[in-house]
């Protein structure tokens, strides 16, 4: 459904991504792991054209798009078929929770306001935020804001949802409420690409785990394999440090 090939991106002399290839099938939940600065977030941003890749192509549904020279219509197409959940939620501060969901429907997807509101309410219900639909972001907790962020992402019924470290900015006790919604979405067959540091989520929910370092995909595989028998030395090292940290916190 979504296929990336040969994606490269540099900021000045800094090479962030190098020849990244990724295949996503419908229903996949892909967890992208890796140390900070490894290019995970940039990869996600390149998919949604928040960053313009220097090289690479994307196949989405039946369209092949050259990432560095995508036309306006192609960018619009990709943004209709994908949605983005941000690390810092990035809810529209001047809009209520419901308006945050309907804004993209009405002005991005040209859905009539009335229908958009119905869709919006359903989406908020799904993330357990129906009773907060008239609240402004500043009146919501981080976890609640991210749940609205997820509602905004699912409302347009995209092919794939891109999650950029959706729980990294949250207080520890609020992480659960967001992860459980993501788990529910995964079980319903939503296609997701998730950049995350939540190892237990990656292990239990993802259908595929990817390890990135230095702008390349070093290892990818079925999560169980990945966590139990990592092949690459760098992956082992990374997992050790993460697992050590987990033991340490326990």
Partner 1 sequence: MSLDFAFMKSSFFLAAGAVPLTLFITAMTLLASLPLAFIIAVARSGQKGKVLNLIFSLYVSAVRGTPIIVQILIIYTMLPDLLKFLIEKLGLPFDVYAINNVFYAILIFSFSSIAFLSEVFRAGLRAVGRSQYEAALAAGLSGFRAYTRIIAPQAVSAVLPVLCTSVNNLIKMTSLCFAIAVNEITGVVRVAASRNLHFVEGFLIIAAIYVLICLTVEWGFKILENKVRAHKVSA
**CB 40 to partner 1: min, Å:** 17
Contacts by 243-247 with C-beta closer than 8 Å and gap 24+?
A: 243/199, 246/199
Query: To the nearest whole angstrom, how small is the minimum distance from the Cβ of residue 211 to partner 1?
Result: 26
Query: Residue 58 pairs with which residues in a beta bridge?
Result: 4, 65
Candidates 5, 55, 90, 207; binder of partner 1 (CB under 8 A) is 90
Does the protein bind partner 1 through residue 73 (CB under 8 A)? Answer: no
Calpha distance 32→48 (Å, rounded): 16
Determine contact, residues 166/152, Cβ cutoff 8 Å.
no
Q: What number of chain residues touch partner 1 (CB under 8 A)?
A: 27
Using the rule CB under 8 A, is 207 a contact of partner 1? no
Q: Does 91 bind partner 1 (CB under 8 A)?
A: yes
CA–CA separation, 236 and 217 (whole Å): 14
Region 166-195 residues binding partner 1, contact defined as CB under 8 A: none
Q: Which range of residues in 28-36, 74-82, 181-189, 191-199 is near partner 1 by CB under 8 A?
A: 74-82
Q: Is 93 in the site for partner 1 (CB under 8 A)?
A: yes
Q: Checking DSSP bridges between strand 216-221 and strand 208-213, what pairing results, if any?
A: antiparallel
User: How many alpha carbons lie under 13 Å from residue 144 in its C-beta half-sphere?
Assistant: 16
- Contacts with partner 1 by CB under 8 A lie at 48-50, 76, 79-80, 83-84, 86, 88, 90-95, 103-104, 107-109, 136-139, 152, 156
């Amino acid at each position: 459904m979504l296929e990336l090939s040969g994606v490269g991106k540099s900021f000045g002399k800094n090479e962030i991504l190098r020849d990244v290839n990724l295949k996503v099938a419908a229903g996949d939940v892909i967890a992208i792991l890796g140390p900070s600065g490894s290019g995970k977030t940039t990869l996600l941003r390149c998919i949604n054209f928040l960053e313009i890749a220097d090289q690479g192509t994307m196949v989405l549904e039946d369209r092949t798009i050259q990432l560095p020279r995508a036309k306006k219509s192609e960018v619009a197409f990709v943004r209709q078929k994908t949605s983005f959940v941000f690390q810092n939620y990035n809810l529209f501060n001047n809009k209520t929770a419901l308006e945050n969901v309907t804004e993209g429907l009405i002005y991005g997807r040209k859905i009539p306001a009335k229908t958009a509101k119905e869709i919006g309410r359903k989406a908020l219900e799904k993330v357990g935020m129906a009773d907060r639909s008239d609240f402004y972001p500043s009146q919501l907790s981080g976890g609640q804001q991210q749940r609205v962020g997820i509602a905004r992402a699912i409302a347009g019924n995209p092919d794939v949802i891109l999650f950029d470290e959706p729980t990294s900015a949250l207080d520890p006790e609020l992480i659960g409420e967001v992860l459980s919604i993501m788990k529910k979405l995964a079980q319903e067959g939503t296609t997701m690409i998730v950049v995350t540091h939540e190892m237990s989520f990656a292990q239990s929910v993802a259908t595929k785990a990817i390890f990135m370092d230095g702008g390349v995909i070093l290892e990818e595989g079925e999560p169980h394999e990945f966590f139990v028998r990592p092949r690459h030395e760098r992956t082992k090292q990374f997992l050790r440090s993460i697992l050590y940290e987990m033991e340490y916190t326990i």
